[in-house]
Amino acid sequence: MAKAQLNAGMTLDGFVLQERLHRGGMAAIWSVTHPDIDFPIVMKVPFLDYEGDLSLLIGFEVEQMIMAELKGIHVPKLVANGAFTVQPYIVMEYIAGATLQKRMGGEVIPLDELTALAASIADALGDLHQQHVLHLDLKPANILFRPTGEAVIIDFGLSRHEKLPDLLDEQFHKPTGTTEYMAPEQLLMIRSDKRSDIFALGAMLYQLATGELPFGAPSKIKYVRQRVWRDPVPPRKLRPEISPALQEIILKCIDPMPENRFTNAEEMAFELRNLDLVEVTERGERLERSNFKTAFRKRMRVRKTMQAIQASATKPPPRAPIILVAIDLSDDLRQPLQEAAVAALANMPGARLACLNVMQTSLIAIDENVNEDGDNIHVNRMAELRTWAEPLQLPRGKVTFHLIESRNIPAGILEFAHSNKVDHIVVGAHAGSGPGASKNTMQIALEAPCTVTVVRLTEADRLAAAQG
C-alpha cells in the first residue's frame, strides 16, 4: 500500500480533496467534491502504518463493511469505500451540525432540552440496533446532530453487525473501547449485547446532566472494573434540579448488570419523553452514593459480580413491546376494547399497555382548559383513563397513560405509534365520534407501522346493550 501524502487539490478516484476539516488520532477528515455528487461530502482517511497498531487497520475494514450495510437518517449516507490496495478511505455525506462533544463544551444545557436531546440520541441508537448493528464505542465525539435535529451516529470502527463475521472478535483478545463510557461486560470481551450501548448512552446522559463523568476517566482499561463495585455520585447531588425520574433513567442505564438496564433504546426514549410515567425507585430519589463499607463489601465480591454480569450479558434481553390501546371514553366499546387489550397483552409476553386518549382540539375556537364546573379537563381525562384501565388490574410499570391533543384523531394516534415504536394498536371501529369516525379507524389501519386490531360490537352485543 502506498503511503500517500494527501494535499488539498489532489484527486483520488475522482474525489477532489478540498480542505482538511479534522485530524484525529486515527484518521483525518477531508471535505471533498465529486462532479457526480450534488450534496456535501467528506472523506475519512485512516493513518495506517504497519509498524503501528493492527487494530486501526481492522477497525477501518469493519467501518467500511458496516457503513455499507446501514441506511437511514441516523447515519451518514455512504458514498464510496476506497480499496485497501491503493488508498483506503470512506466517502460519506457531510453532517453540518456539531458533535455532542462540542455541544457539551458550552454552558450547561437546560434539563428539558437535555432530555429531548437524549431521547433523539436514543432514537438513533434504536434505529442502529434495528439494523442489527451494535456500536460498542458510543461517546460524545461520535454523535452529531442534523440541522433538523435528528441525531447521527458515526465512527463504526469497533462496531459489530449481528449477521456478519465479527472481524474484531477474531483478532483481539484484549478489550477495546473508550474507558469513560464502556460497559463492564465489554471488559469481558462480550461484543453481542445491545445493552452495552445503553450503558454508554447513560454515561453520556449523566455527563450532559451534571457536567461530570459518572466513573471519571480511567487511564487504563483495567480500571473500568471499578464501576462494578463503586456506584457513581447521584446526579441530583451534583445538580439538585434534576428530577428523581431523570436520575432513575440515568442510573438505570449505567447499572453494572445488563439485565437491570433498559432492554432496548426505544424503551429508554419512551421514558425520556414521558418522565411523569417513570416508576421512581430508591435509585431515583437517592442523594448520596453508597457508604464506604458497602462499596468495600462489593469490591470484595467483584469476581462473583463479574461472573453474574457475564451470565446476564450472554442471555438475550427480553423484548418489551408496547401495545397501544386508543381509548374513546364516550364509547360503548369499553368492555370489548378492554378484552381485546387483555388478549393482546397475553399474546406478547413482557409487553406493556399504553392507554391513549386523543383530545380533539378545534380549528377555530380557543379551547378552554377548564370546564363549566371549573375542573381542569386534563386532570379529569387522566383520571377517567385510569378508571378505564382499573378492571384490567395491571401492575404498575405494565401500564402507562397518555393524553395528547390533536386536531385530527387518527393523526394523533399514528404519530404516537410511530414515535414510540408501538408494536400493536387496539382501536375501536369508530375512533372518535361523529361523522367520519369509521374513516378514522380505516386510516389508522392503513397507515399504522404495526398490527392493528379493530374492535367492533356484534349485533348481539348491541341488542344486549340496548336491553341491558
Partner 1 sequence: MLIALFADIHANREALTACLDDAAKEDAESYVFLGDLVGYGPDPVWVVETVAGMVDKGALAVMGNHDEAIFRDDVSLNPIARAAIAWTRLQLKDEHRTFLKDLPLDLHQDDRLYVHASACSPQDWIYTLGPREAFQGFRATAQRVTFCGHTHMPALFNENASQLPQAHRPISGQPMPLLMQRRWIAVLGAVGQPRDRNPAACYGLFDTATSRLTYVRVPYDADLTARKITAQKLPHALAVRLTTGS
Binding mask 394-433 for partner 1 (x = CB under 8 A): ----------------------------------------
Closer CB to partner 1, 72 or 165, in the complex:
165
Residue 170 found at the interface with partner 1 (CB under 8 A): yes
Span from 18-26, 142-150, 159-167, 243-251 in contact with partner 1 (CB under 8 A):
159-167
SS3 (DSSP) at 133: strand
- Interface pattern 119-158 for partner 1 (x via CB under 8 A): ----------------------------------------
Hey, is 290 helix, strand or coil?
coil
Cβ atoms 199, 253 nearer than 8 A: yes
The alpha carbon torsion through 389, 395, 396, 402 (nearest 10 deg) reads -30
61 counts as binding partner 1 under rule CB under 8 A: yes
Element (H or E) spanning 56, and its range? helix 54-67
When the beta carbons of 64 and 178 are compared against partner 1, the nearer one is 64
83 binds partner 1 (CB under 8 A): yes
Compute the C-alpha angle 449/349/193, nearest 5°.
80
Interface residue with partner 1, options 2, 147, 163, 460 (CB under 8 A):
163
Q: Can you tell me the distance from the alpha carbon of 184 to that of 190, in angstroms, rounded to the nearest whole number?
A: 9
Q: Would you give the binding string for partner 1 spanning residues 309-348, x where CB under 8 A is met?
A: ----------------------------------------
Residue 124 C-beta: closest distance to partner 1, Å:
23
Cβ–Cβ < 8 Å for 266, 420: yes
Binding letters toward partner 1, positions 107-126, x by CB under 8 A: --------------------
Closest CA to 183 of 110, 278, 111, 255: 255
Q: How far is the CB of 165 from partner 1 (least distance, A)?
A: 4
261 close to 255: Cβ distance less than 8 angstroms: yes
CA 229 from chain center: how many Å?
A: 26
CA distance 83 to 90: 9
> Under the rule (CB under 8 A), what is the footprint of partner 1?
54, 61, 64-65, 68, 83-85, 163-167, 169-171
